[in-house]
Structures are given as C-alpha cells and as structure tokens.
C-alpha cells in the first residue's frame, strides 16, 4: 500500500479507538448481563460484547482508507470500501464483567484482505480497562503506551520493552486438560516465577509486558487449538509482544507466521520473554 495512505489511515484508526475507549468503559455500566446469543466461536455473548462491537464497527468502517471491518463477535467481514482491514476483539475478557475485573479491547490493522497473516500487520494494539484506561500501540518497530481520559491521550512510555528478567506467569485452561509436555514445562516455570492470572488475556499480557515472564492459553487435550482466536487475539498480541522485544509462539512457530485459513480459527497462544518462549518450544518438540 502507498506509505502515506496507510500511515494516515493507521493514525485515524488509532485515534478513533483511543477516543471510543472511554465511551466503551462508560457504556459497560448496565450492559453486564449475558444475551441469549453465541458468537462465531461459540462463546456466550455479554450485552457489552455486542454493543461495543456495534460502536467500533460504526466508527471504524467509516474511516476513509479502511476497506474491511471484522470482529470476534460477528460471523462475517464488513466490506466498507478500499484500504486496510481492521480486526477487533471488542471486549477481551468480557466474562470478567460479572466479577468486575479488568478487561480490554484488541485491534489489528492489516494491509491485506482478511483472513490475513501477521506479516500483513501495519499496526496492532490494545486498550486495558484497569484502574486507569491505558492503550498500547505497536507500529513502525516501537510500542507506545498512552493514558486515556475523555478525549485526552497522554504518552506515558515511548518505547515499551518486555524486561529480560522474568517475574510473572499465567496459564489458561484447567490443569488436568494440559497435555503432559506443557504440564512438565509448567512444573519448571512455577518454581521460578509468580502466578498472575486474571482471566482476561489483555490484563494478563500487560503484566507480562510490564514485569517480564510468560502468558499462555495453550493447546488443551479437549481443544488442540486452544481457546483464543488467531485473527483477533493471537496475531495482534504476538505483534505487540514481539515489537516490544519479546517472543510469541503457537507452540512451534511465531504467531505472526501462522497461516490463517478461516476468520475465526483458534490458535494456542504463548507470549512473553524470549527465554521462556524458547524453553516452551523445546518442551513441546
Ligand atoms: P473474550 O472475552 O474476548 O472471549 O476472551 C476471553 C479469553 C481471554 O481473554 C482469556 O485469556 C481467556 O478467555 C480466559 O479463559 P478462561 O476463562 O478459560 O480462563
Ligand atoms: Mn468472548
Ligand atoms: Mn478475547
Ligand atoms: Mn471478546
């Protein structure tokens, strides 16, 4: 794509998400109940999932230079003209709404038609609805962190990097459902790091990016491709962590090298400090 075109379009996508995030946070109030619907991955939908998806689709699909919008919450891609494709997880960790724990919004901007690969990303990032609403944006080889409040966006870190010294770990799924080789890897890691697992990938990944360590939602005996979605979770988060100097893996290769075959496919996700990803891939060989 012509450089100027994608740059100004990426700016517009990031600006729209940054401006919409405080509205999403405010709109969670009163939308915490489940609706009687499932999303394309078979997840039970929370009212806020559907509402946030509608808001983001409305705002992002009307940006000049955005040609496709897709989300975890809707079966099909929305064609909206010529240009980049934006794939979002409108609310990541929405099951945390009931218990009022942290959650996030994930986005990826692909310079290709969806389903698209990590190599097609021109930017990716996430919003974290924690005590403070923050946003991480990975583009042009760097990760910036912002604090969002209303229409203000203050830069608080221009070069986020995953610390080499690892401190925390968090692994999804149930222990009896972990394959033996992953369980053996966990036995090593739990003697070295502190457990931090909150049930929203974005909040758990943000701890790994901040303190160093590893997050995984691995392949399970009951679900060989794990739980997380490649297009909306695995690739964007893999891009953020790798741009921040960490590593990602589906168990044998970078998440950015996984070839998408269908929009809502799942993938085992492991992201964090390079040492722990290397050791993981050796353990799963
Ligand atoms: P989402 O709310 O977008 O469906 O994502 C939920 C995912 C992810 O955020 C988290 O890591 C994982 O589900 C937690 O799964 P468990 O509840 O099985 O731990
Ligand atoms: Mn879901
Ligand atoms: Mn999610
Ligand atoms: Mn979601």
Which atom of ligand 1 lies closest to the CA of 232?
A: 3
**pLDDT for the residue numbered 36:** 87
**pLDDT for the residue numbered 151:** 74
Q: Whose CA is nearest to atom 11 of ligand 1?
A: 201
- pLDDT range class, residue 153, cuts 50, 70, 90: confident
**pLDDT for the residue numbered 5:** 54
- The ipTM is 0.97
Unique residue bearing structure tokens 């808001």: 55
Does the annotation list 227 as a binding residue?
yes
pLDDT above 90 coverage of the chain, percent: 91
Residues 243-271 pLDDT 10s: 999 999 999 999 999 999 999 999 999 99
**Burial call 173-210: b when 16+ CB within 10 Å, e when fewer:** beeeebbeebeebbeebeeebeebebebbbbbbbbbbe
Residues 21-44 pLDDT 10s: 999 999 999 999 889 889 999 999
Q: Give the number of whichever ligand sits closest to the CA of residue 198.
A: 1
Q: Give the number of whichever ligand sits closest to the CA of residue 91.
A: 4
**pLDDT for the residue numbered 177:** 98
Residues 38-88 pLDDT 10s: 999 999 999 999 999 999 999 999 999 999 999 999 999 999 999 999 999
pLDDT at 158 over 90: no
pLDDT at 14 over 80: yes
Residue 41 CA to ligand 2 center (angstroms) comes to 8
pLDDT at 229 over 70: yes
Task: Give me the chain's average pLDDT, please.
Answer: 95
Nearest-10 Cα torsion for 83, 123, 233, 31: -80
């Amino acid at each position: 794509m012509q450089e100027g075109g994608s740059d100004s379009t990426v700016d517009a996508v990031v600006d729209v998400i940054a401006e919409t995030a405080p509205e999403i946070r405010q709109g969670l109030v009163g939308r915490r109940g489940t609706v009687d619907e499932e999303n394309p991955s078979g997840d039970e939908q929370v009212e806020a999932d559907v509402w946030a998806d509608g808001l983001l689709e409305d705002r992002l699909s009307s940006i000049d230079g955005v040609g496709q919008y897709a989300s975890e919450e809707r079966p099909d891609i929305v064609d909206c003209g010529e240009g980049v494709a934006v794939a979002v997880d409108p609310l990541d960790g929405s099951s945390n709404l009931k218990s009022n724990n942290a959650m996030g919004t994930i986005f990826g901007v692909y310079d290709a038609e969806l389903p698209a690969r990590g190599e097609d990303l021109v930017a990716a990032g996430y919003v974290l609805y924690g005590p403070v609403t923050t946003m991480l944006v990975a583009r042009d080889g760097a990760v910036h962190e912002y604090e969002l409040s209303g229409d203000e966006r203050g830069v608080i870190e221009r070069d986020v990097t995953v610390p080499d010294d690892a401190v925390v770990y968090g692994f999804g799924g149930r222990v009896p459902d972990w394959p033996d080789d992953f369980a053996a890897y966990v036995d090593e890691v739990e003697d070295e790091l502190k457990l931090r697992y909150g049930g929203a990938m974005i909040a758990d990944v943000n701890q790994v990016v901040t303190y160093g360590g590893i997050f995984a939602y691995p392949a399970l005996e009951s679900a060989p491709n794990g739980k997380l979605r490649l297009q909306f979770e695995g690739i964007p988060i893999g891009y953020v962590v790798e741009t921040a100097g960490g590593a990602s893996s589906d168990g044998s290769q970078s998440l950015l090298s996984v070839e998408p075959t269908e929009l809502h496919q799942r993938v085992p996700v492991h992201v964090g400090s390079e040492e722990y990803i290397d050791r993981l891939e050796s353990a799963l060989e």
